[in-house]
Amino acid sequence: MPNTKYIFVTGGVTSSLGKGIISASLAKLLQARGFKTTIQKFDPYINVDPGTLNPYEHGECYVTEDGAETDLDLGHYERFLNVATSQANNVTTGRIYQSVIEKERRGEFLGKTVQVVPHITNEIKERMQLLGQTGEYDVVITEIGGTVGDIESLPYIEAVRQLRWELGEHNGLVIHLTLIPFLSAAGELKTKPTQHSVKTLMQSGINADVLVCRTEHDLSEELRDKLALFCNVKREAVIQSIDAPSIYDVPILMREERLDEVVLGKLALPKDQKLNLSQWSSFLHRLKNPKSNIKIGLIGKYVELQDSYKSILEAFIHAGVQNEVEVIVDSIHSEYIDATTIEKKIAHLDGVLVAPGFGSRGVEGKIDAIRYARENNIPFLGICLGMQMAVIEFARNVLGLKEANSIEMDDQTPHPVISLMEEQKAVIDKGGTMRLGAWKCSIFEGTIASNVYKTSEIMERHRHRYEFNDVYKKQLNDAGMIASGLNPDTDLVEIIEISNHPWFVGVQYHPEYKSTVVNPHPLFVAFVAACKKHSLNKNV
């Protein structure tokens, strides 16, 4: 049995405190000391995965190499650690129950009454240890979604209590993330909500080992003493997590608070390994010192909620750093784009990105934006639905197929330039049935794509049901929209581009999922470079 150490991260007081970022930052510090670390997220909702959730509910749905539709925190884990995650890294209550019920149907419980304790909690505990048991990791960090005290969280908290006891001293610990609100009228930081949430945790039999306190203002020494005394944690285990200019500052702030040392001490792991954060610090330095800025329009229909396009926004940050520019993202709601507003909304931009999406709401605005970018030589990147809309726009306005459409939007269109694959036609279930995960793509030489990737074969992650319709390939190609990347096994078109345009690329896959601090995605890097060039040309 490998001697993997387990860290559990719970949240108190409110949601959205950034457990994912704290977990990823701690993992980064442990990784920087040479410990092999992974992070997993347990979500207390009943959906089997977030794939069926509207982005307004839960932000972006992140997709892993193995095709799991997961919580967006897995994106942070990958971006921070540069290590791929998988289906095993994200578990929901729905999945736990599904698996327990399937076992019950197979008679695996031998006539016993199946109950939350022990059957659901056992299933949770098993899954909490799955990655640890591979022997690949020294430390597994498990983030428990939701807030302590929620009815939904109870089985998870109970599983953590049991597991910590079973693992024994120095093998498991609990970090509780809370909020220390600032009452401006009183000019004071308040510890009471934290005391209450720690007590709630205690009622479930868990004493937090480390308290990470989100705050807008520095915690005084007295306040830290008070928190330690009332919350039953060691003084050095009261960690301040002050609001940071960017999520990429958090590992450095956690280092300054010695979170890594406190954790290593409690897990009886050696503290003498050299901590190598030089690459991270250099990224941060470049992030804070851009030489210029560019403005890119992000056109989508979920723009009110920034979390809907999390990976795209982060990929822009990585690519901006690589290009020494600050990418200012102008989020533009596609429903509000039409002939009367287009000039005002798009003309000043250095680049246009049309986002992924589902359904017909707002697609005509996306098509108008693409037309504007194409006709006015503004760099363009279309992702998934954005690529499909670029094909439709070209078919309508260059080939003259006025009614060209995707059959997702109009199943009666006479020109289905985006259509449904044969194997998708019989699919009724919505969850987990799209083309998901990493697929190969071969790139033709002499194209923008081959210039970007500098290799002839790539693997990129997918999440879509509809595909480029091959019937129109030649016609589009002859008019200047070429297919520069194909799936080598099925010939499905994965990349399209326009030859007589400074930079116009559409991809059926999602490059944003693979961009990390260490490996900014080449497509985003090249797109931002093209936008930077556009901006310079504009200003001469």
Which of the residues 23 through 82 are near ligand GLN (CB under 6 A)? none
Considering the rule CB under 6 A, would residue 357 count as an interface residue with ligand GLN? yes
Find out whether 42 and 142 touch, Cβ atoms under 8 Å: yes
Q: How far is the CB of 503 from ligand GLN (least distance, A)?
A: 21
Q: How far is the CB of 523 from ligand GLN (least distance, A)?
A: 15
**Six-digit token string for 120:** 């659901």
Q: How far is the CB of 512 from ligand GLN (least distance, A)?
A: 11
Query: Around Cβ 491, how many Cβ atoms within 10 Å?
Result: 12
Q: What are phi and psi of 486, to 5 degrees?
A: -130, 150
User: Binding mask 245-264 vs ligand GLN (x if CB under 6 A, - otherwise)?
Assistant: --------------------
Instruction: Using CB under 6 A, count the residues that bind ligand GLN.
Output: 10
When binding is defined by CB under 6 A, the residue of 261, 358, 440, 456 that contacts ligand GLN is 358
When binding is defined by CB under 6 A, the residue of 18, 297, 356, 416 that contacts ligand GLN is 356
When binding is defined by CB under 6 A, the residue of 385, 391, 401, 417 that contacts ligand GLN is 385
Closest CA to 351 of 509, 539, 535: 535
Alpha carbon distances (Å) from 91 to 43, 66, 70, 88, 411: 6, 14, 8, 7, 36
DSSP state of 110: T
Q: Which is nearer to ligand GLN, 188 or 411 (CB)?
A: 411
Q: Which is nearer to ligand GLN, 24 or 395 (CB)?
A: 395
Q: Which is nearer to ligand GLN, 161 or 461 (CB)?
A: 461
How many angstroms from the chain centroid is the CA of residue 422? 30
Q: Which is nearer to ligand GLN, 181 or 300 (CB)?
A: 300
Q: Which is nearer to ligand GLN, 146 or 357 (CB)?
A: 357
| DSSP string across 169-190 | TTTEEEEEEEE--EETTTTEE-
* Amino acid letter for position 309: Y
Considering the rule CB under 6 A, would residue 389 count as an interface residue with ligand GLN? no
Q: For the chain, how far is it from start to end, CA to CA, in angstroms? A: 65
Answer left, alpha or beta for residue 436, where phi above 0 means left and psi between -120 and 50 means alpha.
beta
Q: How far is the CB of 495 from ligand GLN (least distance, A)?
A: 15
Q: Which is nearer to ligand GLN, 315 or 384 (CB)?
A: 384
List own/partner pairs for 409-415 with CB under 8 A and 24 or more apart.
409/359, 409/360, 409/363, 410/360, 415/472
Q: How far is the CB of 463 from ligand GLN (least distance, A)?
A: 5
Q: Which residues are catalytic?
A: 384, 510, 512
Location of structure tokens 């659901």: 120
User: Binding mask 450-489 vs ligand GLN (x if CB under 6 A, - otherwise)?
Assistant: -------------xxxx-----------------------
Location of structure tokens 């670029």: 390
How many whole angstroms separate alpha carbon 509 and alpha carbon 381? 12
Q: Which is nearer to ligand GLN, 174 or 391 (CB)?
A: 391
Q: Which is nearer to ligand GLN, 90 or 419 (CB)?
A: 419
Find out whether 260 and 33 touch, Cβ atoms under 8 Å: yes
In DSSP terms, which residues pair with 37 in a beta bridge? 139
Query: Around Cβ 538, how many Cβ atoms within 10 Å?
Result: 12
Find out whether 176 and 74 touch, Cβ atoms under 8 Å: no
Window of 122-130, 166-174, 351-359, 442-450 that interacts with ligand GLN by CB under 6 A:
351-359
Q: Which is nearer to ligand GLN, 356 or 416 (CB)?
A: 356
Q: What are phi and psi of 482, to 5 degrees?
A: -105, 155
Task: Give the pairing type, strands 62-63 and 182-183.
Answer: unpaired
Alpha carbon distances (Å) from 431 to 47, 86, 135, 254: 9, 17, 31, 38
When binding is defined by CB under 6 A, the residue of 384, 389, 443, 493 that contacts ligand GLN is 384
Find out whether 312 and 75 touch, Cβ atoms under 8 Å: no
Window of 108-116, 201-209, 352-360, 522-530 that interacts with ligand GLN by CB under 6 A:
352-360
Considering the rule CB under 6 A, would residue 365 count as an interface residue with ligand GLN? no
How many whole angstroms separate alpha carbon 264 and alpha carbon 278? 21
When binding is defined by CB under 6 A, the residue of 408, 460, 494, 512 that contacts ligand GLN is 408
Give the footprint of ligand GLN on this chain (CB under 6 A).
356-358, 384-385, 408, 463-466
